[in-house]
Amino acid sequence: MKRHAVTPYGREAGSSRVRVFSWLDRIDTHIDVHSYLSRRNADPRELLRRPDLVVRVERELRRLAADRTDWLMLHREASPLSRGGLERDLLAHTDVAIYDFDDALQWDAGEGATWRRLAPKSAKALAAVRTADRVVAGNDVLADWASDHARDVVVVPSCVAVGDYRPKPDYGLSDPPRLVWIGSRDNEEVLTTIGPVLEEVHSRFGARLTLIGSAQPTLGTLERLVDRVPWSPGAQHAVLATADLGLMPLRDDPYSRGKCGYKLLQYAAAGLPAVASPVGANSTILTALGQPAAGGRQEWVDALTAILEGSDTDRALLGRRARDAAASHYSYEAWKARWESAVGLTTDGTPGGAS
């Protein structure tokens, strides 16, 4: 049988790794993966470095779209250059068509850059959900929108490989206390929303922030209390295991409400206490993990202070409870049967009955 998965990024990109590669690693079925340039992103700088490869990949995707296949799963978008037609054709020319997404792409009209407005993600997401036999959404916010346009929508959260994370060995505070945030350069700006909180906690406790992601400074005056670690799987696991407290602030806007709360799951997998904004899927995840939510500035200060001033036993209870909950409710093992059914990898090859 001809089975294909199409994703815009390579294995090192969080979204593609979590929603595509990590699932395919766990099944016996052979799937041909098309991951565009196989990079962590597909912005113009990446495209301009390899125009020959871009042309080859675009031709390959169009050949795939013209050929009838048995099963195809499209994650997010097929091409950064498409306006939705390629995504529609790929899903229309297959017997079982699955569209998977984990961000509020439907509200991403390309603001902020001319090149993004030429090929907005919103147009691609709409074309895909209208064409797919089944849409697999990362959370209820995304599923609610998709249900207005799609015939069949299933929620499967972004899952975490808990066993791959090194659990914290102890819960005594570092000297100085070590807060941590993990993410891409494009998303770092959200940390400025709790900038005054970080300044106050730094002043009171000497706490510093380790930022796992880009090595390039982007946070202005906050950089004086920031230590940067370039992302890699090994660095990610090592830093989380030695940090004291994870952070996940979010703006309360439509795009942020569509996020899947993955940072919280990574912190939990390492047994790390965390504080986050109760926005979108974060609210559900915080409740499941037993971690504190923080809205305004004072709530953030109070939540961080309570953890930093708490005992080692208190922090251990928070962290270990979160790790156990992540394994029970958000791990690949917990969701494997549901995911296989959701994407149509059932005995008869048709979309299963997951809901």
Q: Encode pLDDT of 268-309 as tens digits.
A: 999 999 999 999 999 999 999 999 999 999 999 999 999 999
Residue 316 is assigned to a structural domain of this protein: yes
Shared domain check, 220 and 200:
yes
* pTM for the whole structure: 0.93
Shared domain check, 14 and 116:
yes
Spatial distance between the Cα atoms of 341 and 75, rounded to a whole number of angstroms = 17
Amino acid at 46: E
Shared domain check, 172 and 144:
no
Query: Residue 354 has what pLDDT?
Result: 38
Query: Residue 174 has what pLDDT?
Result: 96
Query: Residue 352 has what pLDDT?
Result: 44
Q: How many domains does the chain have?
A: 2
> Consecutive 10-residue runs of the chain (355 residues): their mean pLDDT?
95 93 96 91 80 94 96 97 97 97 92 77 97 98 98 97 95 97 91 97 97 89 95 91 97 93 97 97 97 96 98 98 98 97 72 41
Query: Residue 156 has what pLDDT?
Result: 98
Query: Residue 112 has what pLDDT?
Result: 66
Query: Residue 340 has what pLDDT?
Result: 96
Residue 349 is assigned to a structural domain of this protein: no
CATH number for the domain spanning 144: value is: 3.40.50
Shared domain check, 98 and 178:
no
Shared domain check, 288 and 191:
yes
Shared domain check, 175 and 131:
no
Residue 108 is assigned to a structural domain of this protein: yes
Shared domain check, 8 and 146:
yes
Residue 352 is assigned to a structural domain of this protein: no
Shared domain check, 146 and 104:
yes
Shared domain check, 318 and 174:
yes
**Domain encompassing residue 261:** 162-329
Query: Residue 139 has what pLDDT?
Result: 97
